[in-house]
Amino acid sequence: MRENFKNKEEVSQSEENFLKDEDFDLSNFSEKDEGLVSIWAKKFGLLVFEVVKVVLISLAIIMPVRLFLVQPFYVEGASMEPNFYEKDYLIINEISYHFNEPQRGEVVIFKYPKNPKVYFIKRVIGLPGETVEIQDGLVFVNGQELSEAYVENFLADDYSLVTLGSTEYFLMGDNRANSKDSREIGPVGRGYIIGKVWLRGWPLDRINSFNMPVYTNN
């Protein structure tokens, strides 16, 4: 009985020694395994570096374009129908107005003078120094009627003759019966106009760019 207890004790001590040896035995961790870990760590580091580099390069290219060249804009409301509809996704060209002034017929985005955080989309009708008058819905610029093929929904309203200042524009929506424009807010200063519509990117079935309208009698 005593011998059996002694044997059990020896076995227990032997197992304890075995576990301790295993815990601290690094002989099974070869240089080959260490090399593989190092190689995979380097590959992962290179992958992270490449991803970060691509992101930084993309931001360096996209951000200036986004801030200074073009901007996206969603149409809200029906003031420009039938040429622009609610939720149309437009690309706005900002850079051109750093070199050229807005022209008659261009569709522009401008900040609402009474609240610059609000943006409007309208068409340029009157240019600086011109006179604008509306009689029974027809627009007269410098006393001559303006032909507007892009307007389908005229409104038989009147607007007293106004002479635009050296930096003022008369802007109107294409849907004359449903547009808050220069007839209500007055001429818009050049500083509020941020860019012109360049491209419609959505919906897919109406993707297109925009050209200047032809005025046959102006």
What pLDDT digit, counting tens, does each position of 177-197 carry? 999 999 999 999 999 999 999
Strands 159-163, 168-172: pairing kind: unpaired
Is residue 178 within 8 Å of residue 80, measured between CB atoms?
Answer: no
CATH number of the domain to which 129 belongs: 2.10.109.10
Question: Of the residues 79, 179, 182, 196, which is catalytic?
Answer: 79
* DSSP bridge pairs for 138: 135
In a domain, 30, yes or no: yes
Looking at the fold, whether 58 and 124 belong to one and the same domain comes out as no
In a domain, 112, yes or no: yes
Looking at the fold, whether 41 and 124 belong to one and the same domain comes out as no
Is residue 91 within 8 Å of residue 72, measured between CB atoms?
Answer: yes
Our answer to whether residue 87 is catalytic in this structure is: no
Looking at the fold, whether 108 and 204 belong to one and the same domain comes out as yes
Looking at the fold, whether 59 and 148 belong to one and the same domain comes out as no
Looking at the fold, whether 40 and 112 belong to one and the same domain comes out as no
pTM of this structure: 0.69
pLDDT digits 0-9 by tens, 69-127:
457 788 999 999 999 999 999 988 888 898 899 999 999 999 999 999 999 999 999 99
In a domain, 218, yes or no: no
The tally of domains found in the chain comes to: 2
Range of 111's domain?
Answer: 75-209
Give the mean pLDDT of the chain: 80
In a domain, 147, yes or no: yes
Our answer to whether residue 166 is catalytic in this structure is: no
pLDDT digits 0-9 by tens, 4-13:
444 444 444 4
Looking at the fold, whether 88 and 190 belong to one and the same domain comes out as yes
Question: Of the residues 114, 122, 147, 209, which is catalytic?
Answer: 122
Looking at the fold, whether 47 and 102 belong to one and the same domain comes out as no
The confidence band for 60, taking pLDDT boundaries of 50, 70 and 90, is: very low
- Look at residues 174, 162, 169 and name the one whose alpha carbon lies nearest to residue 213: 174
Looking at the fold, whether 17 and 115 belong to one and the same domain comes out as no
Looking at the fold, whether 147 and 201 belong to one and the same domain comes out as yes
In a domain, 217, yes or no: no
In a domain, 167, yes or no: yes
List the Cα angle 11/13/19 in 5-degree steps. 100
Q: How many residues does the structure list for the chain?
A: 218
Looking at the fold, whether 92 and 131 belong to one and the same domain comes out as yes
- Look at residues 173, 85, 83, 67 and name the one whose alpha carbon lies nearest to residue 121: 173
Looking at the fold, whether 57 and 83 belong to one and the same domain comes out as no
Looking at the fold, whether 6 and 98 belong to one and the same domain comes out as no
